[in-house]
């Protein structure tokens, strides 16, 4: 599909502002890093304008009303309009509890955000089997309404919103950070804050995760409903599905989640090593999405709303993304602390925003910086990153194009055989060390050549191997350390 046709299709479904956002993201991924503008250092006598500035108004907006509820002065600055979402989100019901625990929503309000529930989810690999699981990503959320409600609650708590402000530089002083913004209408402005939450996602200069998932798709109507694998069953969510082997050094993966009656959110993505290159543009990936969609689901699809993004997936085999300034804290995709394998940013945010806000409020009350980790992570992530990294650098040899699918099929067959509790725990980042060891042993028994196929560490060196072994040891010891 020609590039101008792709742009027209996205513009028709999402409007010019959404198309501009997609083109901006693509440009960020191809231009060389831009040196930040020089910013004057704030002196120690300056009274900050804000306690907290949130740079970016996407899903990390959840921090704003919680921090304001602690009595902090919070400002949200965004390049475009804050609380506008170009993704959809699925999650299990129990993982929504922080929305009520935080006091942001009542149980009935959370219920009103759920547009669909599924009996089960499935993972299905090309040339392999289908592996159902219950209790994983089985609730579809009205993402647009959810984020607009978070914004409304933030405004009611006194959070101020400043849109059309692009952060172009910052500098830390003894008690605060000065931020320099370029305004959409022209000109410059600067503010000061005691702490900055960098929520700019993959476009942040501090987002140095070694993996990335270019992802495109959208809410579609017109897909054929039925029970066949290439039809949409409203009772079933497709968690991970492949329809072909490796092509051009990429293993493409589909996801599909029914929403409102007659609508399904479909994604296409792949894992890649993070680097600035035209090779991983979102618009070309949209071309493949429309070209190959019929292999995944039949019908006469109509794109109702585009969804897209670059989702970081840090492998844990390289140093963690971090800001060099003590008072700048990464959150959301910029921090990349969610699962490197399933990249569940929504689930990761549900686990992070409430305890993270409490930790940040305490750090501000005691003037203790850096505040330490405020984004949820788990020892499981330090070992699943190896599989994600392997998927990012598959063999390009034609005779090995199905190798990733065979490996994944073996892995999920083992998970399924371990029972639904272990299977679901793995996908929700909750699998314990002993069960993960059983999982690895099961793969090795069924597919002894796995050690040749998982040749990733040979590409990353002895330090990566040491990190993985350290992470595996920590995972095994975690239940004992928690006592």
User: 413, 403, 417: which is closest to 455 by C-alpha?
Assistant: 403
Evaluate if residue 325 carries a pLDDT over 70.
Answer: yes
Question: Is the CB of residue 178 less than 8 Å from the CB of residue 50?
Answer: no
User: 243, 340, 337, 245: which is closest to 295 by C-alpha?
Assistant: 243
Tell me if residue 256 falls in helix, strand or coil. Answer: strand
- In the chain, pLDDT over 90 holds for what percent of residues? 66
User: pLDDT by residue (tens digit) across 53-85?
Assistant: 999 999 999 999 999 999 999 999 999 899 988
Question: Is the CB of residue 296 less than 8 Å from the CB of residue 254?
Answer: yes
* pTM summary value: 0.92
Last residue of a domain, one of 294, 312, 330: 312
**H-only helix segments in 168-260:** none
Evaluate if residue 268 carries a pLDDT over 50.
Answer: yes
User: pLDDT by residue (tens digit) across 246-260?
Assistant: 999 999 999 999 999
Average predicted confidence (pLDDT) for the chain: 90
Q: What's the DSSP call for residue 252? A: -
Q: How many Å apart are CA 90 and CA 483, to the nearest integer?
A: 32
Domain identity same for 399 and 257: no
Q: How many Å apart are CA 6 and CA 11, to the nearest integer?
A: 9
**pLDDT number for residue 483:** 41
Q: Confidence band (pLDDT; 50, 70, 90) for 31?
A: low
**pLDDT number for residue 229:** 96
Domain identity same for 307 and 400: no
Evaluate if residue 14 carries a pLDDT over 80.
Answer: no
Domain identity same for 403 and 277: no
Q: How many domains does the chain fold into?
A: 2
- Residue 39 structure tokens: 């910013």
Give backbone dihedrals phi and psi of 120, rounded to 5 degrees, phi first: -165, 165
Domain identity same for 294 and 401: no
Domain identity same for 122 and 217: yes
User: Is residue 367 one of the residues assigned to a domain?
Assistant: no
User: Is residue 344 one of the residues assigned to a domain?
Assistant: no
User: Is residue 104 one of the residues assigned to a domain?
Assistant: no
- Residue 232's CATH number: 3.30.9
Domain identity same for 122 and 242: yes
User: Is residue 136 one of the residues assigned to a domain?
Assistant: yes
Domain identity same for 420 and 307: no
Least confident of 27-41, 122-136, 339-353: 27-41
Domain identity same for 130 and 259: yes
Domain identity same for 392 and 307: no
> In which domain, by residue range, is 415 found?
381-481
Domain identity same for 405 and 306: no
Last residue of a domain, one of 312, 328, 353: 312
Last residue of a domain, one of 312, 332, 361: 312
Q: Confidence band (pLDDT; 50, 70, 90) for 482?
A: very low
User: Is residue 273 one of the residues assigned to a domain?
Assistant: yes
User: Is residue 174 one of the residues assigned to a domain?
Assistant: no
Domain identity same for 289 and 387: no
Domain identity same for 274 and 417: no
User: Is residue 183 one of the residues assigned to a domain?
Assistant: no
User: Is residue 204 one of the residues assigned to a domain?
Assistant: no
User: 5, 1, 13, 3: which is closest to 217 by C-alpha?
Assistant: 13
- Give 279 or 205, the one with higher predicted confidence: 205
């Amino acid at each position: 599909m020609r590039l101008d046709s792709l742009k027209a299709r996205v513009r028709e479904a999402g409007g010019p502002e959404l198309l501009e956002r997609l083109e901006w993201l693509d440009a960020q991924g191809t231009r060389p890093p831009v040196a930040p503008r020089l910013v004057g250092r704030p002196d120690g006598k300056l009274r900050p304008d804000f306690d907290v500035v949130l740079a970016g108004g996407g899903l990390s907006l959840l921090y704003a009303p919680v921090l304001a509820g602690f009595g902090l002065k919070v400002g949200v600055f965004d390049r475009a309009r804050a609380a506008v979402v170009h993704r959809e989100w699925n999650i299990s019901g129990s993982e929504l509890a922080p929305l009520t625990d935080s006091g942001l929503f009542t149980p009935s309000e959370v219920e009103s955000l759920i547009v669909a529930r599924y009996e089960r989810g499935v993972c299905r690999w090309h040339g392999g089997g289908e592996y159902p699981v219950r209790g994983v990503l089985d609730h579809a959320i009205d993402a647009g309404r959810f984020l607009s409600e978070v914004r409304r609650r933030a405004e009611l708590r006194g959070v101020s919103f400043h849109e059309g402000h692009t952060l172009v530089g910052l500098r830390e002083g003894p008690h605060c950070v000065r931020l320099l913004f370029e305004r959409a209408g022209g000109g410059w402005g600067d503010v000061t804050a005691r702490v900055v939450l960098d929520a700019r996602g993959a476009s942040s200069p501090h987002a140095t995760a070694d993996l990335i998932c270019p992802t495109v798709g959208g809410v579609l109507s017109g897909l054929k409903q039925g029970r066949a694998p290439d039809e949409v069953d409203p009772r079933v969510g497709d968690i991970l599905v492949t329809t072909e082997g490796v092509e051009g050094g990429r293993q493409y993966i589909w996801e599909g989640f029914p929403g409102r009656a007659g609508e399904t959110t479909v994604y296409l993505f792949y894992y890649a090593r993070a680097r600035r290159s035209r090779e991983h543009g979102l618009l070309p990936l949209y071309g493949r999405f429309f070209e190959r969609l019929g292999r995944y689901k039949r019908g006469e699809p109509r794109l109702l709303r585009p969804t897209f993004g670059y989702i970081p997936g840090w492998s844990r085999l390289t140093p963690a993304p971090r800001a060099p300034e003590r008072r700048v804290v990464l959150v959301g995709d910029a921090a990349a602390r969610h699962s490197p394998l399933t990249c569940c940013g929504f689930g990761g945010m549900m686990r992070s925003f409430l305890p993270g806000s409490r930790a940040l409020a305490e750090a501000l009350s005691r003037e203790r910086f850096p505040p330490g980790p405020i984004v949820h992570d788990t020892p499981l992530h330090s070992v699943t990153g190896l599989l994600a990294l392997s998927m990012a650098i598959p063999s390009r040899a034609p005779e090995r194009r199905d190798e990733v699918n065979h490996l994944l099929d073996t892995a999920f067959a083992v998970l399924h055989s371990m029972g639904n509790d272990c299977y679901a725990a793995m996908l929700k980042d909750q699998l314990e060390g002993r069960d993960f060891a059983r999982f690895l042993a099961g793969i090795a028994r069924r597919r002894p050549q796995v050690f040749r196929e998982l040749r990733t560490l040979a590409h990353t060196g002895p330090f990566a191997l040491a990190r993985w072994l350290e992470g595996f040891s920590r995972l095994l010891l975690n239940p004992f350390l928690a006592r």
